[in-house]
Amino acid sequence: MSPVGNPMSLMMQEILEQPEVLRRTFRAECEHAREFQAFARKQNFRLVVLVARGTSDNAARFGRYLLELTTGIPVSMSAPSIHTLYHARLDLRQALVIGISQSGEGTDINLVLKAARRQGAYTIGITNEARSTMAKLVDDAFLVRAGRQRSVAATKTYTGQLLLFYLLACGLGSHITLEGVSELPDRVKQTVKLVPEIGKLVERYRYMRACVVVARGINYANAFELALKLMETCYVVAERFSAADFLHGPIALIERGFPVLILMPPGKVFRELQHLTERLRRLRAETLIFSSANAHLPAATRIIRVPGDIPEIYTPIPYIVPGQIFSALLAEVKGLDPDKPRELHIVTRTV
């Protein structure tokens, strides 16, 4: 049973599977990462291009921040229509092109990867499906070991993709260590223990119809991912912003009681987000903060505290898990089935 009294959803079951999924993925791909490191040193990649859709696009957004921050290599997000509709010819020599897809069957993603190979790129696929079209067409594939995804709303495959980006960062630079990555499964094991606490909290948001999700820096992608989960499972209109962009206009929509969810780990972004929280308190917004157990947050309306003292660079995986739990349980208190979102399927094909 879930904390709100309903049979446990597939989404919640897969959320709880994540510590083992991450551990299994790390063990299976750790040596692969070492081999890629030796290969990458010889290639001298000058550009990384990422291509994805949906939840995987949010993983790619994380990958952009992580790889640029830790390797110094410029990273671009591909627009698939440039290849699939406009058939542009790009010079991708000395480029690493990475496709991200849970199923490995995204038609447009695979068309971009094929075009990239013709244009001189080395291609990598990040997927959960070893026998997928993507895994067969790329030069190299890094596999999430999540098992079959049964929930329409991706959770374990998203965090698995993030973990593989950490392994790729190990291969392309020196700032991310295998030791640091190896600690992530246990950090998530501690985080899933928040389920009962979040189960008590979600009732407060039963009638939430719209909200804003704010983050910055290495957790910026998680603002998009949490908003996506709220939209697809709870039918909440969830806008997502960088804290900097939020202040450039969207803050005007804030009024008394308006919900703002803020991902706020200790680190370089903390002080800026703390100032934003204080400003939102003056506007009488409803602020739900995701931060650490030791963070001083007097201005927050509600706080979800992530266990452990986690270096900022490693916070994205532990910090999205409470958001996943919140979304799954909020759907239930709203009387919705998070496993049957309207008009959605596990595999979506676009061109």
Q: Which helix (H) or strand (E) holds 210?
A: strand 210-215
**C-alpha to C-alpha distances, 319 to 222, 311, 333, 338, nearest whole angstrom:** 8, 12, 22, 20
Considering the entire predicted model, what is its pTM? Answer: 0.94
AA letter at 32: H
Q: How far is the CA of 87 from the CAs of 96, 119, 134, 223, in angstroms? A: 19, 12, 20, 32
User: Rounded to whole angstroms, what are the CA distances from 137 to 112, 118, 204, 213, 328?
Assistant: 11, 12, 48, 36, 35
The residues near 149 (Cβ < 8 Å, ≥ 6 apart) are 14, 102, 128, 156, 157, 346
Residue 62: C-alpha distances to residues 8, 20, 161, 264, 323 (Å): 29, 22, 10, 16, 16
Residue ranges of alpha helices (H) inside 154-218 are 156-172, 178-182, 184-191, 195-201
Token pair, residue 321, equals: 């898990």
User: Could you tell me whether strands 47-52 and 75-77 are parallel, antiparallel, or unpaired per DSSP bridges?
Assistant: parallel
Pairing of β 75-77 and β 95-101: unpaired
The structural domains of the chain, ordered by start, are 10-182 (3.40.50.10490), 192-333 (3.40.50.10490)
Q: Which residues have a Cβ under 8 Å from the Cβ of 152 and sit 6 or more positions away?
A: 11, 232, 339, 340, 341, 344, 345, 346
- For every residue of 41-108, DSSP letters joined together read HHH---EEEEEE-HHHHHHHHHHHHHHHHHH---EEE--HHHHHTS------TTEEEEEEESSS--HH
Residue pair 111/86 in contact (Cβ under 8 Å)? The answer is no
| Residues linked to residue 263 through DSSP beta bridges, in sequence order | 290
Q: Taking the chain (351 residues) in consecutive chunks of 10 residues, what is each chunk's mean pLDDT?
A: 78 98 98 96 95 96 97 94 86 96 94 95 97 97 95 95 98 94 98 97 97 97 98 96 89 93 96 93 95 85 94 98 98 93 58 52
Biggest CA pair distance of the chain: 57
Q: Alpha-carbon distance 183 to 345, whole Å?
A: 33
Amino acid found at 221? A
- Contact (Cβ atoms closer than 8 angstroms) between residue 338 and residue 327: yes
* Three-state secondary-structure class, residue 263: strand
What is the distance between the alpha carbons of residues 130 and 117, in angstroms, rounded to a whole number?
20
109-154 per-position pLDDT tens digit:
999 999 999 999 999 999 999 999 999 999 999 999 999 989 889 9
